[in-house]
A and B are shown apart, each in its own frame.
Chain A
Amino acid sequence: MSIGMQTSKGVGRLLKINAWLVFAFFYIPMIVLVVFSFNASQRVNIWGGLSARWYPEMLRNDEILSALENSLVVAAISTLASTILGTALAIALDRYRFRGRGTLEGVAYLPIIIPDVTMAVMLLAFFAQAFRFLGNIGPQLQLGLYTVVISHIAFNISIVAVVVRARLGQLDPALEQAAQDLYASRWKAFRLITLPLILPGILAGALLALALSLDDVVISAFVTGPGGTTLPVYVFSAIRRGVTPELNAISTLMLAASTVLVLSSLFLQRAPKQERTTTKEDS
Chain B
Amino acid sequence: MTAPKLAPDAAVRKAESRRGVFTAMPAAIYLLIFFCTPLLIIVAYSFGTRTATGSTRLSGWNFDSYERIIDDLVLGIVWRSFWLAGLTTILCLVVGYPFAYYLATRPARIRNILLVLVMIPFWTNGLIRIFAIRFLLGSDGPVSQASSSLGFGEFRILFTPTAVIIGMLYSYLTFMVLPLYVAIERLDWRLVEAARDLYANGGKAFRKVTWPLTRSGVIAGSILVFIPSFGSYVVPEILGGAKTLLLGSYIARQFGQARNWPFGAALSVVLIVAMLIAVVVNQRSAASELTGSSS
Contacts and interface: CB of A to CB of B under 8 A. Distances in A.
Given A22-B99, A113-B224, A266-B119, A121 B255 contact: yes
Interface in A2-16: 2-4, 6-8, 11, 14-16
B276 to A, nearest CB: 9
Interface stretch (B59-67, B72-80, B140-148, B284-292): B140-148
A19 B102 contact: yes
A6 B196 contact: yes
A104 B26 CA distance: 12
B27 A88 contact: yes
A148 interface: no
A98 B98 contact: no
A248 B135 contact: yes
B258 interface: no
B150 interface: no
A98 B255 contact: no
Given A243-B135, A255-B128, A265-B123, A107 B24 contact: no
Interface in B62-106: 95, 98-99, 101-105
Nearest to A207: B123
A32 B278 CA distance: 36
A221 to B, nearest CB: 9
Interface residues of A, number: 95
Contacts of A116: 228, 231, 233-234, 248
Given A8-B202, A108-B27, A154-B35, A121 B265 contact: yes
Nearest to A218: B233
Interface string B116-157: 111111011111110111111010111001000000000000
Interface in A100-123: 100-101, 104, 106-108, 110-111, 113-118, 120-123
A97 B20 contact: yes
Indicate the size class of the contact surface on chain B. 35 or more
B21 interface: yes
14 contacts: A6-B189, A29-B133, A32-B142, A88-B26, A96-B16, A114-B272, A115-B248, A118-B231, A118-B272, A126-B41, A129-B41, A161-B27, A235-B127, A236-B234
Interface of A: 1-4, 6-8, 11, 14-16, 18-19, 22-23, 25-30, 32-33, 36, 44-45, 84-86, 88-89, 91-93, 95-101, 104, 106-108, 110-111, 113-118, 120-126, 129, 150-151, 153-154, 157, 161, 183, 185-187, 208, 211, 214-215, 217-218, 222, 232, 235-236, 239-240, 243, 247-248, 251, 254-255, 258-259, 262-263, 265-266
Interface of B: 1, 3, 13, 16-21, 23-24, 26-28, 30-31, 34-39, 41-42, 45, 95, 98-99, 101-105, 107, 114, 116-121, 123-129, 131-136, 138, 140-142, 145, 169-170, 173, 189, 192-193, 196, 202, 205, 224, 227-228, 230-234, 237-238, 248, 251-252, 255, 261, 264-265, 268, 271-272, 275, 278-279
